[in-house]
Structure 1
Amino acid sequence: MGMGSTNQWDAEWEVSEELAHKLISSQFPQLASQSVQKLGYGWDNTVFLVGIEYVFRFPRREVAINRLRMEGKILPKLKDYCSIAYSLPLFFGEGDYNYPAPFLGYPYLSGEFPIGLTDKQRALSATTLAQFLKSLHAFPVQIAQENGVQYDHRNLIDIVMRKEKLHKFISDLALHFSKEEYRELSNYLEQLGTEKVKPKNVFLHGDLHFKNMLVDENGIVSGIIDWGDINIGHPACDLNVAYSFLPPDARSDFFKEYGDVDEETKILARLLAIYIPILIMMQAIDYKDEKLVAEAKAIIKRALAD
Structure 2
Amino acid sequence: MSAGQMHADMVPIDEGLVRRLVAAQFPQWAELGLERFPSGGTVNAMYRLGEDMVVRLPLVEAGVKGVSLEQEWLPRLAGRLPTAIPEVLGAGDPTHEYPLPWSVYRWLEGENPEAGAVRDSKLAEDLAAFVTVMRGIVLPGAPKAYRGGPLTLLDASTSAAIEELRGIPQEGIDCDAVAAAWEDALAAPDWDGPPVWLHADLMPGNLLVDDGRLTGVIDFGCTGIGDPACDLFPAWNLLPTDAREVFRQALGVDDATWRRGRGRTLSQALIALPYYRTTNPAMAHNARHVIRTVLEEG
Q: TM-score, normalising length from structure 2?
A: 0.85
Query: 1:77 offset after TM fit, Å?
Result: 0.9
Query: 1:215 offset after TM fit, Å?
Result: 2.1
What do the CA deviations read for 1:157-179 (whole angstroms, capped 9, x no partner)? 2164465245324324432126x
Do residues 188 (structure 1) and 213 (structure 2) align? no
State the partner residue of 2:265. Answer: 273
State the partner residue of 2:18. Answer: 20
State the partner residue of 2:250. Answer: 257
> SS in structure 2 opposite 1:297?
helix
Whole-Å separation in 2 of the counterparts to 1:116 and 1:89: 29
Aligned residue among 112, 135, 138 for 2:136:
138
> SS in structure 1 opposite 2:95?
coil
Query: 1:185 offset after TM fit, Å?
Result: 2.9
Q: Superposition pairs for residues 22-171 of structure 1, below 5 Å?
A: 22-40=20-38, 42-121=41-120, 123-144=121-142, 149-150=143-144, 152=146, 155-158=149-152, 160-161=155-156, 164-171=159-166
Whole-Å separation in 2 of the counterparts to 1:120 and 1:170: 31
Query: 1:206 offset after TM fit, Å?
Result: 1.6
Query: 1:133 offset after TM fit, Å?
Result: 0.6
Query: 1:73 offset after TM fit, Å?
Result: 0.9
Aligned residue among 195, 212, 235 for 1:219:
212
Query: 1:15 offset after TM fit, Å?
Result: 1.8
- Over aligned residue pairs, what C-alpha RMSD do you find? 2.8
Structure 2 residue runs of 5 or longer lacking an equivalent are none
Contact 2:81 2:134 in 1 (8 A): yes
Shift in CA distance, 234/193, structure 1 to aligned 2, threshold 3 Å:
closer
What do the CA deviations read for 1:44-95 (whole angstroms, capped 9, x no partner)? 2221111221111112222222321121010011123221222121222212
State the partner residue of 2:172. Answer: 177
What do the CA deviations read for 1:130-170 (whole angstroms, capped 9, x no partner)? 010111122225242xxxx2355674521644652453243
State the partner residue of 2:278. Answer: 286
Shift in CA distance, 153/270, structure 1 to aligned 2, threshold 3 Å:
closer
What code does the residue aligned with 1:211 have?
G
% same residue: 25
Query: 1:197 offset after TM fit, Å?
Result: 1.5
Query: 1:97 offset after TM fit, Å?
Result: 4.7
State the partner residue of 1:303. Answer: 294
Shift in CA distance, 52/281, structure 1 to aligned 2, threshold 3 Å:
farther
Q: TM-score, normalising length from structure 1?
A: 0.83
What do the CA deviations read for 1:219-239 (whole angstroms, capped 9, x no partner)? 333221111112321111111
Which of structures 1 and 2 has the larger relative contact order (alpha carbons within 8 angstroms, sep 6+)? 2
Contact 2:75 2:88 in 1 (8 A): yes
Whole-Å separation in 1 of the counterparts to 2:265 and 2:292: 10
Query: 1:283 offset after TM fit, Å?
Result: 4.0
What code does the residue aligned with 2:214 have?
V
> SS in structure 2 opposite 1:301?
helix
Query: 1:249 offset after TM fit, Å?
Result: 1.8
